[in-house]
Amino acid sequence: MQPRPMRTLAGEGGRRPWIGANFWSREGGPRMWSRYDGDIVRQELRVLREHGLTMTRSFFYWPDFMPEPDRLDETACRWYSDFLDAHHEFGMGTIPTFIVGHMSGENWDPSWRQGRDIYSDVWMVGRQAWYITELTRRFHSHPAVIGWLISNEIPIYGGEGDERIINSWVLLMVNAVRAGGGTQPVSLGDGQWGVETTGHDSGFCSLEYGPLVDFVGPHVYRMEHDRIRQHLKAAFICELAAVADRPVIMEEFGLSSDFASPQASATYYRQLLHATLAAGATGWIAWNNTDYDNIKDQRPYSHHPFELHFGITDHRGRPKPPLKELEIFSEELRDIDFGGIERARTDTAIIVPSYLTARYPFTEDAERVLIVDASEQAHVAAREADLAPGVVHEPAYGGGGGLPGGYGLYLLPSAKQLTAPSWRRLGELVRAGATVYASYCAGETSAQRGPWWNDLEGLFGVRQLLTYGLNDPVDEDVVELTLEEDFGNLPAGAVLSFAAAGNAEARARLPIEVVDPSRTRVIARDGRGRPALVECRHGRGRTVLCTYPVEYFAARRGRVNPEDTWRLYDALAVEAGVTRPAHVDDPLVMVDSLRTADGAQYTIVLSQHDEPVEVSIDYDDGGAQRSRAAGAAGRPPRPAAGDRSARRRGSAPDAVKSI
C-alpha cells in the first residue's frame, strides 16, 4: 500500500481549505477599478460569506494599475485598499493577481508595452518586476491578503515560449514578490496547461517551475463527449498536476449557465468538487462571483456573450445553483482539520510513461496527447472499479531509482512506449509478487509504429508476429474477448466487449503466440480465436497482456462509460488480491476515502445514476454501511447520506454522519 499525495499549504491555510470565488464586481467587470463602488462590493462579498465562502481571487487589471512604465495609479491602489478592507470586515481573504492582461476572451496591453516580449525583453521584465514589488510592498501586511498569483493565464497573453526563458521569468517574478515583503504563498496563475496535463509542450511545465512556487493551480473548462469523463476530468488533471510535488488548488473552474441548465450546473459543481477532493485538491476557487448583464455592452462580454453568465450569483446578487453547492461543500468540510488529512493508501498504480514530459529526441505532441488520453480513460475505469488508483510517473530515462515498488497492481494502459530500464524494473516488481497489466497500442503516428517494448517473451511469455512496417488493423466495430478460464471474478465463458475506435495507425492489435504454455495461459480469445488476454506467472507475481488497446478505444469514443475496461480492472484487482479502501459493486457509484489523524474516515461517494440509489459500501477493514447515493441529476433530501459520508473510528462510537 502506498500513499497518494494530498498536500496542503503551510501555516493556517493548511488547516482550513480555500473555498471561494474569482472576483470582478457586477457593475465593472475588469474595469471595476475605474468605476469602483465599495457598497456594491460589500453587498457581493456579504452574499458569498453568507454561503460559506471565505476568500476570493482578485485582479490588478494591468492597464489601470500601471498606466506608465514607472508609475502606479494611486486611485486604483486606493480602491484596492478599500477592497481589502471590505474583505477584512467580512472575515474573508483574497489572493491578488498581478499580470492581468488576459481576461474572458480578450487580451489588454498597457499602452506602453508596444509589442515587447513579456519573458525575454530585459526592460519589459524589469518593469514587471518593479510593478510586482511595489504592489506587494503596499499591500503585503494587510490581513486580507492570503496569497499571490503572478498572472492570469499568461500563456494566452504572453504566448508560449522556450522553457528555459519562461522559468527564468518565473524566478524573477516570484523574487519580486519576496522583495516586496510578501511572505504569503505564491504561484504562477498559468492555468496548469503544460505538457504534464495536456500533452502539449508550451514551455510552461510545473515540473520545472514547481520548485519556485508554493502551489499549482489548474484552470479547468474542458469540453467532453462522455459524461463520466467530464465529471472526473478535473480530478484526473489534479492527479497529473501533483507531479510538481506542490499543493494542488483548483484555481479556476466553473461554467456558463448559458451552456447548462440550472440542475446540470449544480450537478457539474457537485461532481467536480467531490471528485477533486478525492484526487487530492485542497482548495477551490470558482469562476466567478457574479453575472455581468449590467455591463453586457462592455468588452469582452459584448463579443463573448456567454462570458456574462459564469457567475455563482446573478447580476442582481441572487445565488445560483453552483453557489448552493459550494455552500453545502463548505459545510461538509467545516469540521475537517486539513492539516492532518490524507487520502487512503492504495494498492493500485497507473503508470504514466515518461514520454509525456521528458524531452526525448524526436518525440511528437501527438504521442504525448495519446498518453494523457489513455491514462485518463484508465483512471475512469479504475475509479469505476473503486481501485482508488495512484498515478506513478515513470522516471525520465529510467533514472531516479526506477518505478517505485509497494503496489500490488500496476496498470500500463494502451502503451506504445516505455524506457528500457523501466521494462527491466517491471520484471523485478513482478518477481517480487506484483501483478503488472499492460495493453498494447501502436500509437497514432507512423513514426516507428509498433511496440517499444523490451523482452516481450521473458516478461509476458509470448512472441509477437508483426510484419515490419505494417500494423494489424482492427476491422471489427466491436471486439469481443471470451474468457477461456476463470479470471478474478470473471467466470469462464464471460465476454468482455469493446467498441473499436481511433485512427488507422492505432486501431490495431498485437498478434502473438504463446512461447511456454507451462507458465503462460490464454485467459481470453477474440472473435477469431486468437489470444487476446494472456497471463504469465513469475513466482508469486504475474504479468497480464491485453493485445488490444482497450483504453485507447474508449478514449476515442463519446458516451461510452462505463465500458468493459472496468470489469477487466475489477477482475485484475481480485486476481492480484489488492486492497480497495472502499468498494461498491456498481461502476456508476464510485467511492474513495479520506482519513484524519484523529481516526475519522470520510467516504466520498460519487454517483452517476440519474436518480438516488441505495448502495452497500464495503470497507478495507471488513466493515460495511448502507448509504443512499445522490443521483448525478439531483441530490437526495438531506439528511440522507449523499455525495460524501463519514464513519468515525477509535474511541468514538461508530456512526454514519450525513454530510
Within 10 angstroms of residue 494's Cβ, the number of other Cβ atoms is 16
Q: For the segment 329-384, what is each residue's pLDDT rounded down to a tens digit?
A: 999 998 787 878 899 999 999 999 999 999 899 888 999 999 999 999 999 999 99
Q: Report the pLDDT value the prediction gives residue 625, as an integer from 0 to 100.
A: 79
Q: What is the Cα–Cα distance from 505 to 127, expressed in whole angstroms?
A: 49
Kindly give, in sequence order, each residue whose CB lies less than 8 Å from that of residue 626, ignoring residues fewer than 6 positions away. 614, 615, 616, 617
Q: Report the pLDDT value the prediction gives residue 188, as an integer from 0 to 100.
A: 98
Mean pLDDT, rounded, of the chain: 93
Q: What is the Cα–Cα distance from 397 to 404, expressed in whole angstroms?
A: 15
User: What is the side-by-side order of every strand in the sheet holding 582-583?
Assistant: 582-583, 613-619, 624-629
Angle at 259 between CA 257 and CA 261, to 5 degrees: 60
Q: For the segment 168-201, what is each residue's pLDDT rounded down to a tens digit?
A: 999 999 999 999 999 999 999 999 999 999 999 9
Pure H helices in 385-514: 420-431, 456-460
φ, ψ for residue 425, nearest 5 deg: -65, -40
Q: For the segment 609-646, what is each residue's pLDDT rounded down to a tens digit?
A: 999 999 999 998 878 777 777 776 655 433 222 344 44
Q: Which residues of the chain have pLDDT under 50?
A: 636-659
φ, ψ for residue 248, nearest 5 deg: -105, 120
